[in-house]
Amino acid sequence: MYSKLNSDVLCSESKVFLILIFFLVALKSFSQPTRVSGKVIDQETGQPVSYVNILFKNTRIGALSDSLGLFTLTSQKKVDSLSFSNVGYLSKTIKIQAGITNDLVVRLKPEPIKLSEIQVMPDDGPVRRMLKIMVDRKKLNNPVKYDRYSYRKYTKWEYHLQNVGEKLIKSKLFRNDQSLFKSDSDSTKYLPVYFSEQLVFNEFQRNPLKQKSTVLADKTSGVGVLDDYEISGYTSALDIEVNFYDNYINLFLQNFVSPLADNGWFYYKYFLADSILLPNGFKEYRIEYFPRRTGDKVFKGYFTTESRNYSLVELEGTLTTTSNLNFLKTMRLKGNYQLVKDSIPFFRRNQINAIFNYVPLNNNPSKKPISLFFNQSAVIDSVSVSQSEDVKLNANSGRYETIKLPDATERDKNYWDNHRLEELDEREVLISATIDSVSNIKVIRFADNLSRMAMTGYYDLGKWEFGPYTNVINTNKVEGLHVFAGARTSSEISTRYMLWGGLGYGFRNKKINGIAGFGYKFPTIHRQLMKVSYDDKIVRAGENEKILFLYENSLSPTENNIVSQIFKRNELDELFREKKLAASWEYEWHPGLMNKLSANYTRHYSPEFYPYLKNGSLIGHVSAVELSLDTRFSWQEKVIDDKFLRIYMATDYPIIHFAVGGGKVFYSGNENFYGRVFATMEQYLRLGQTAVNYALEGGIYFGKLPYTMLDIPRGNETFGYYSYDFNMLNFMEYVHDKYLHAYLEYHLNGFVFNRLPMLKRIGLREVFSAKTMIGTLSDKHQEIVDFPVTIIPSSNPYLEVGAGVENIFRLFRVEAVWRVTPKSILGAPSFGLRAKFEIKL
């Protein structure tokens, strides 16, 4: 009985114990907190999205993502969903599992701008008053206002190809190199192509104006041409300076309206989103802004300011629309500011992300094309303001200079670890280690060689480079079909000297011609270059090195235009043979000031269709020896040096050439002295979101010269459009010994079209042009050779105007051009449509 009772008790206790355990387990499962952590990113760019409102659904438990898009939430309640919302993005709800830790990567889709749906606070008085104070105090808060300042800046750049499909990765092209493709945060594949770090010490003083950039350390890992080019300039040709206190932010040769522009209310709508009380008793305000209309080059985002100085604390902006920009898919800016000595506003950090898609037309929008991702981030420290010491330049006569310390490119890992102002993240370390291997992929090397050929004219074959490709096959009325084969030494043989040469053959005139030369670049801080060359070629009347003062990056003394090569009004016959032996010395005194001293012996042979005649007798040739000096002025210009080649990138200021020359001309057993003075000035001037491109060239000749050595205004007998030629002028209509030419183009960049409902999404842009010239010609030059019958001396001005549309299919410009005065006696048209192939952002 006792044992049975005891057994029943034990059995009951066991049941109770089991029920209790079950209850405790159930209770624990119900009380187990739900934790969620993760990162919010932009679905299109992959960049973090900050200040996202995150909320457990049907609760009041929430949080905001931080500046890196990171967040963490915890709830003791039973929750199964998490909602995400942020201005400018579509809201999103995600299912989660209760009672465990959820790790998420949340991708928010940008919301298309629909102005009618933007909710603006009914009373915008407070934000208007705040914006007015900020604009009024811009000059006081702008870091560049100080007469003297210096700082150290660490900048890093990254480029990679993204959205690389699995089909391409597994193809024969990359079958053996699949490990070089890396996975992004959204699991898509990308291929690193460039990573660079630079540490620079910048100094500035306003009176007298002096600027100096000292490159302390420079480390570049790039594919082919990106790694080889030495980049210099105000600080660097890649370095983008962003100052949100300016009315316009210039990026990629385009002007974007700053949210802090003086007339910002014309482009943006603002509202006060939040305010917090700081420990020092002042308030910090968060202001969000949106575009007032579509089509403008504006941003959407937020900025914060404080009530002490009303200076910027932080600003973030994303480009709202790229429909009127070519190839630029997305762009995001972010800037942070600091208080030096707790009172002086100054830059602290800025970052730029952009994605470029170089496919002009996308027939399958659902498939992401391969794109180029660009990132630049810069951090500033060691700021000194209003210091007493002058900025010391190596060239006392200069105003600014960039110098690189001798061991700047030799800094070891320990140096970088101790001097980086911002640590590399895991991806950046991986990219830097991968790029050297990427350069060895065959298809990458081939693409790199094509890119290099487009810039230099030569295709790299190892120790020798073949080219220039523009001379390989040509046709004209004198030579008929002309073929050419040439080459030059590459940097594998030497980075200091270069040999080049080539031979050509004309099938009509059955003549062989060619080129040969030698150059040496001195190992100096500033550019010093010596060249000796011989050229025997057919040239166009009016074609000479003067045009290279305007087309400075051109591979030949003319403007290359695919349309002009295919569609011609008349067959080109204003040609003659020229032999030239030349020696030159380029000497850069400091950035922005360079001299070129040249000595030439030139022989012009009588043109076949415009022969040298004197009193009816043929003169076989005319020769000349000349010594000339060209001086080139520029200011804050960014350049790329590739051994002997210099590529001029950009400057906001005029570029001026001033040249003087003199020598002796020999003809028919006679000789006489002559002289010449000429100059050019050109500038790309940004006016808000529009731009003006103008150029002036003028000169005067002294003494007597044959007409081929005088100024022959450049005409155009094709259906192509030329910026620095007269498009309604035939060749050989005018010859001048005193002249002035002016060229003007006004690019509205879609200012009107982007506001028209039927046109704003097409990306068309308006353009207007005007070209004029005036000159005189003395009869004394006919003492050497008679003028051709086509040339009638006239002092009347020439004028042509044009109006057109550019960015047609993102590749073409078509312009209607009118010849206003005078009427041509050679049958040149008074009106015509001209086209040009061009690639612009």
Give per-residue pLDDT as tens, 650-679.
Answer: 788 999 999 999 999 999 888 999 999 999
Backbone CA torsion sign across 82, 83, 84, 86:
negative
Q: How far apart are CA 63 and CA 189, in angstroms?
A: 32
Encoded tokens for 703: 């003494």
How confident is the model over 288-300, as pLDDT tens digits? 999 988 778 889 9
Least confident among 151-165, 166-180, 359-373, 538-552? 359-373
Cis check: omega of the bond before 822, within 30 degrees of 0: yes
pLDDT value at 228 more than 70: no
SS3 of 649-696: the string is: EECCCCEEEEEEEEEEEEECCEEEEEEEEEEEEEEEEEECCEEEEEEE
Which has more confidence, 781 or 12?
Answer: 781
What pLDDT shows up at residue 395?
A: 64
Structure-model confidence comparison of residues 278 and 619, the more confident one:
619
Domain 522-837 in this protein, CATH class: mainly beta
- Of the segments 204-208, 234-238, 479-483, which one has the largest average pLDDT value? 479-483
User: Phi-psi bin for 457: left (phi > 0), alpha (psi -120 to 50), beta?
Assistant: left
The more confidently predicted of residues 491 and 236 is 491
Predicted pLDDT of residue 561: 53
Share of the chain above pLDDT 70, in %: 87
Q: Among 202-211, 270-279, 384-393, 516-525, which range has the highest average pLDDT?
A: 516-525
Across the range 125-141, mean pLDDT stands at 89
Report the chain's mean pLDDT, rounded to a whole number.
82
**Confidence class for position 562, pLDDT limits 50, 70, 90:** low
Q: Give the Cα separation of 370 and 358 in Å (integer).
A: 8
Give the pLDDT confidence of 161-174 residue by residue, as tens digits: 888 777 777 777 77
Query: Is the whole model's pTM more than 0.75, yes or no?
Result: no
Decide: helix, strand or coil at residue 451. helix
Least confident range from 55-59, 417-421, 781-785: namely 55-59
pLDDT digits (tens, 9 = 90+) for 107-119: 888 876 444 444 4
| Annotated domain spans of the chain | 1-27, 34-108, 115-438, 522-837
553 or 155, which is more confident: 155
Q: Do 34-108 and 522-837 fold alike per CATH? A: no
For residue 654, what pLDDT is reported?
93
pLDDT for the residue 682: 94
Residue 374: is its pLDDT beyond 90? no
At a CB cut-off of 8 Å and minimum separation 6, what does 228 contact? 222, 491, 642
Is a pLDDT exceeding 50 seen at residue 6? no
Q: How many CB atoms lie within 10 A of CB 175?
A: 9
Average pLDDT over residues 790-818: 88
Exposed/middle/buried for residue 129 (C-beta within 10 Å: 0-12, 13-18, 19+): exposed
* pLDDT of res. 739: 95
If you average pLDDT over residues 479-491, what whole number do you get? 92
**Model pLDDT, residue 828:** 85
Mean pLDDT of 475-483: 88
pLDDT tens-digit profile of 580-590?
Answer: 999 999 999 88
Q: How far apart are CA 592 and CA 398, in angstroms?
A: 8
Does the pLDDT value for residue 365 go beyond 70?
Answer: no
Asked if residue 235 has pLDDT above 60, the reply is no
Task: Tell me which CATH code domain 34-108 carries.
Answer: 2.60.40.1120
5 pLDDT above the threshold of 80: no
Among 291, 259, 283, 287, smallest CA distance to 273 is for 287
